[in-house]
A and B are shown apart, each in its own frame.
Chain A
Amino acid sequence: MLTAEQNDELTQVAAGTPMGELLRRYWYPVAFTRALEEFPVQPARLLGEDFAVFKTPRGRFGILPEACPHRRASLAYGVVEADGIRCPYHGWLFGTDGTCLDQPAEREETNFRSRVRAAAGVAAELGGLVWAYIGPLPAPELPRFDVFVMDGVRDIGWAELPCNFVQVMENAVDPHHTEWLHGRFFEFMARHQGFDAPSSFGKKHVKVGFDAFDWGIIKRRVVEGASEEDDDWKIGHPLVFPYNMRVGGANIEQMQIRVPVDRTTTRFMLYSVHAPAGVEYPAQPQVPDYQIPLYDSAGRHRVDYVEGQDIMTWITQGPITDRTVEHLGRSDVGVTMLRRMYKEQMSAVARGEDPLGVYRDFRDRIDLPCEKNKFDSGGSFAIDFIERGSSRFSPQADALKKLHLKAMENRKG
């Protein structure tokens, strides 16, 4: 339970608010590389602000506020050129650093051009996504987390959720929900809707634990039949502060990304890498991306897949859940830890420090701790993951299952 003021502070994303300033210290995915290859400029909304994201013919990426500094027409309809982007209205040209390079209707001898600058962010490509940083310069390093750089078959499902991102993140430090939402509830819906629920999610939690570490919070659990020697406890998996969760198991590595688009919109992305040993991975000239469904034809939440169940709970909590009337129990200590971490890091930013997970020395690959044997369920987890998770909506779902089955066969042989 929080006071209304604390809930308000925790859920802000706007510039000038403590949480908004904290969130502006990080990089976020704002477009698919594929989309900018198909058309070189795209609109993007991030932390309540609108931007144009573009890729020049020379291969440089840029992000500028959508409104042209001249008379505020949209640069998301701009003309992308070798040096930057030109406003469609009067042709003002801006470089990727926001410098105004040309004002065609102004006289050559004026210095007006040097007095106008777009408040540019920094953009870069990694792992099939275009990332942006819109905070104070110099920008920190774009974290090259393992899933974004490792070999394997990539697959990105996504959805835009009408709720604040913090309630999505609180789910990431709430292990107990798994056995209920993805266990008992899944079985209940399966009985009524006539499908098979996976068995791997319903195991009772005997113990949960949380440790703060360099990138966020490691979540651990012991499920019935397992022990502290098993991966779920010994290794666990991390909430990657402030807006990601790294999960995996049975040769599927995944980053669950929750981008705060604005205060009541979260872009949920499931960035998966299927990397079973013992097979050759097919080439992927482009990483496939696909939208996952939120609702059925009757307007009810789709709850016949794992992430659809999570999404149902996040959205039904309300656009900004009212934490003044919640009732947390001891099993919610991970949630209290995360809120405290947000607040600690808001304080760090207010003191002028870099918050958790912001770093400035290049690292080629950042490996995150993540269990391999999920819920003590062995190789069957990979097939459950595809058939009963969001990957079932992937255009390459069948190919992914075959990849894992073939790899299992090869490993046995």
Chain B
Amino acid sequence: MTEPDLRRGWFRLDAERHRRDAPRYCPACATALSLADGGSGLTTEYWAGADRVFVCFCGACGWSGDIVLADRVTGHEAAD
């Protein structure tokens, strides 16, 4: 197991939130995504403004997509 990086310990809360909030099951086939749940997927989190984006891949069915935790849903915004 990777040793925790003590020099950067002040980000521990973000790591805890990631573990708490990361999607646990594949939206397509409902297989567990996380290794901790016995799954074979991968969930990488990045931040976009106030949103938290989880880039998901399911090792069981191959589904891949982004799941976004957003505090606010906004309309009439120009698309990228």
Binding site for B on A (CB under 8 A): 1-9, 11, 318, 320-322, 324-325, 327-330, 332-333, 335-337, 339-340, 343-344, 346-347, 350
A3 to B59, CA, bound (A): 16
Residues in B neighbouring A333, C-beta threshold 8 A: 46, 55
Q: Interface 1/0s, chain B 55-71, versus A by CB < 8 A?
A: 10101001010000000
When the two chains form their complex, are residues B59 and A1 in contact, meaning their CB atoms are under 8 A apart? no
Task: Give the contacts of B15-48 with A (CB-CB under 8 A).
Answer: 15, 18-19, 22, 34-36, 40-48
What are 21 A-B pairs at a CB distance below 8 A? A1-B14, A1-B18, A3-B36, A5-B34, A6-B42, A6-B43, A320-B3, A321-B5, A322-B5, A324-B2, A325-B15, A328-B45, A329-B46, A330-B47, A330-B48, A335-B44, A336-B44, A339-B42, A340-B55, A347-B40, A350-B59
A340 to B57, CA, bound (A): 6
In the complex, B76 has a CB within 8 A of chain A: no
Residues in A neighbouring B11, C-beta threshold 8 A: 325, 327
Residue with the highest number of chain B CB atoms closer than 10 Å, among A3, A9, A318, A330? A3
When the two chains form their complex, are residues A8 and B42 in contact, meaning their CB atoms are under 8 A apart? no
Residues in A neighbouring B18, C-beta threshold 8 A: 1-3, 324
Residues in B neighbouring A328, C-beta threshold 8 A: 44-47
Residues in A neighbouring B48, C-beta threshold 8 A: 329-330
5 shortest interchain CB distances as A-B pairs: A322-B5, A328-B46, A325-B11, A343-B42, A5-B35
**What is the predominant secondary structure among interface residues of chain A facing chain B?**
helix
- Which residue of B has the minimal Cβ distance to A322? B5
Instruction: Kindly provide the distance from the CB of B35 to the nearest chain A CB, expressed in whole angstroms.
Output: 4
Residues in A neighbouring B50, C-beta threshold 8 A: none
In the complex, B1 has a CB within 8 A of chain A: yes
Residues in B neighbouring A346, C-beta threshold 8 A: 59
A255 to B62, CA, bound (A): 31
Residue with the highest number of chain B CB atoms closer than 10 Å, among A5, A325, A346? A325
Residues in A neighbouring B72, C-beta threshold 8 A: none
| Given A322-B2, A344-B62, A347-B59, CB of A2 within 8 Å of CB of B44 | yes
Residues in B neighbouring A343, C-beta threshold 8 A: 41-42, 57, 59
A8 to B42, CA, bound (A): 12
- Which residue of B has the minimal Cβ distance to A340? B57
When the two chains form their complex, are residues B1 and A347 in contact, meaning their CB atoms are under 8 A apart? no
Residues in B neighbouring A325, C-beta threshold 8 A: 4-5, 8-9, 11-12, 14-15
- Which residue of B has the minimal Cβ distance to A164? B2
A335 to B47, CA, bound (A): 13
Residues in A neighbouring B45, C-beta threshold 8 A: 1-2, 328
When the two chains form their complex, are residues A347 and B47 in contact, meaning their CB atoms are under 8 A apart? no
| Given A4-B2, A322-B2, CB of A327 within 8 Å of CB of B47 | yes
Residues in A neighbouring B22, C-beta threshold 8 A: 3
Residue from B2, B19, B42 within 8 A of A340 (CB atoms): B42
Residues in A neighbouring B3, C-beta threshold 8 A: 320, 322
A325 to B8, CA, bound (A): 7
A343 to B62, CA, bound (A): 10
Residues in A neighbouring B55, C-beta threshold 8 A: 333, 336-337, 339-340
- Which residue of B has the minimal Cβ distance to A2? B44
- Which residue of A has the minimal Cβ distance to B80? A330
Instruction: Kindly provide the distance from the CB of B45 to the nearest chain A CB, expressed in whole angstroms.
Output: 4
- Which residue of A has the minimal Cβ distance to B57? A340
Name 20 extra pairs, CB < 8 A, besides A320-B3, A335-B44, A347-B40. A1-B45, A3-B34, A4-B2, A5-B34, A5-B36, A6-B42, A8-B1, A322-B4, A325-B8, A325-B9, A327-B14, A327-B47, A328-B47, A330-B46, A336-B55, A339-B44, A340-B44, A344-B64, A347-B59, A350-B59
- Which residue of B has the minimal Cβ distance to A324? B15
| Given A3-B34, A9-B35, CB of A324 within 8 Å of CB of B4 | yes
A339 to B59, CA, bound (A): 13
- Which residue of A has the minimal Cβ distance to B37? A5
- Which residue of B has the minimal Cβ distance to A332? B46
Instruction: Kindly provide the distance from the CB of B3 to the nearest chain A CB, expressed in whole angstroms.
Output: 8
A346 to B57, CA, bound (A): 12
Residue with the highest number of chain A CB atoms closer than 10 Å, among B2, B22, B46? B2
A8 to B35, CA, bound (A): 10
- Which residue of B has the minimal Cβ distance to A333? B46
Residues in B neighbouring A318, C-beta threshold 8 A: 5
A63 to B50, CA, bound (A): 53
When the two chains form their complex, are residues B44 and A3 in contact, meaning their CB atoms are under 8 A apart? no
